[in-house]
Amino acid sequence: MEDIMSRSVTKYKQQQGIFWKWMMDCIKKLEYACTQFTERSGETKDLEKTKFVEDLVKVMQVKLGAKDIISQDVHQTMGIKRTNASNLSSIGLDGANALYPTYTLMNSHCYCNSRSTIDPKTFQMRVKANRDIKSREEISTRYVTVLEGRPRRRNLIWSGWKFICECKRCEDPTEFGTYFSAIKSLKCSSGFKLSKNKYILHIS
């Protein structure tokens, strides 16, 4: 873990030329999201591993000679990874993540109008419409699987991104008539019990 993080941060600081400019443009795009996430989340486990970060910085400075690396660089890298990185488990790389700066600007809707795929050979991401998209309609993605009910989805989104999803699906107690999160009544064949409080969250 230390070796991977140190190499990532060192490359981040040392790249030159066109790629360096591209990276800086990407970071600028992500800085706002990362800052917003940090401010909303307060004391998160990932961003408050102070001792781990301090030890990691010492290793990079002393053993790897990366004297210009500071704790803030590591915290920023961890924050961007958590908030904006895409998981590559879908292409068989469990535990690996990739950063797609343009894709991260897309907002989450549980009833999104696009889907993304990643080429396992080139790691290129393609975003395709999964239904008709109207003129000036926002192109959206989703942060969590639709195979979870509304309470679970909202808790996952709150835990990872610190906002309460208010997309059309989450705002509809019946979830577009599917009653996906409802409890089936035992007294009648067609009855469903729906949650009255749509903002129930398990906040630790």
pTM here is: 0.63
> How many domains is the chain partitioned into structurally?
3
In-domain check, residue 10: yes
In-domain check, residue 90: no
In-domain check, residue 198: no
Going residue by residue through the chain, which has 204 residues, state the pLDDT in tens, using 9 for 90 and above.
445 555 555 555 554 445 455 555 655 555 544 544 444 444 445 545 677 778 888 888 888 888 888 888 877 777 777 778 888 888 888 888 888 888 988 999 999 999 999 999 999 999 999 999 999 999 999 998 888 988 889 989 988 888 889 999 999 988 998 888 888 877 777 788 887 766 665 554
User: Are residues 123 and 52 part of one domain?
Assistant: no
In-domain check, residue 77: yes
DSSP assignments along the chain, one per residue: -HHHHHHHHHHHHH--HHHHHHHHHHHHHHHHHHHHHHHHH-S-TTTT-HHHHHHHHHHHHHTS--TT--HHHHHHHHHHHHHHPEE-GGGT-TT-EE--TTGGGSPB-TT-SEEEEE-TTT--EEEEESS---TTPPP-B-SS-TTS-HHHHHHHHHHHHS----SHHHH-TTTTTT-TTPEEPSSSSS-EE--S-TT-----
User: Are residues 159 and 122 part of one domain?
Assistant: no
Domain that holds residue 127: 95-142
User: Are residues 185 and 116 part of one domain?
Assistant: no
User: Are residues 108 and 73 part of one domain?
Assistant: no
In-domain check, residue 26: yes
In-domain check, residue 63: yes
In-domain check, residue 203: no
User: Are residues 125 and 68 part of one domain?
Assistant: no
